[in-house]
Amino acid sequence: MEAGHNSQLKALVERINKLMDDRDEVSSDIRDVFAEAKSAGYDLPALRAIIRAQRENAEKRRNREAMIDLYSSELGIA
């Protein structure tokens, strides 16, 4: 490998490692907030479902909810 490629490779590896460290820190922070929500008495599966729905594309969410309604109806759940 050329010297330029070596320095580029080293820079890329350093950036990836930094981002992975940041990701680990953010994941830890998220776990802490969920623990706080749990200790405050919130239902974590419901909270996770709400967060997932908020982050999901609105059309994709409507389609998923329509399928859930359809399946529930066919199974006599709703």
The domain segmentation of the chain, as residue ranges, is 1-41, 43-78
User: How far is Cα 46 from Cα 17, in angstroms, rounded to an integer?
Assistant: 33
Question: At 78, is the pLDDT very low, low, confident or very high (cuts 50, 70, 90)?
Answer: low
Mean pLDDT of 14-37: 97
Question: At 1, is the pLDDT very low, low, confident or very high (cuts 50, 70, 90)?
Answer: low
Q: How would you class 64 by CB atoms within 10 Å of its CB: exposed for 0-12, middle for 13-18, buried for 19 or more?
A: middle
Question: At 23, is the pLDDT very low, low, confident or very high (cuts 50, 70, 90)?
Answer: very high
Instruction: Tell whether pTM > 0.75.
Output: no
Output the average pLDDT for the chain.
94
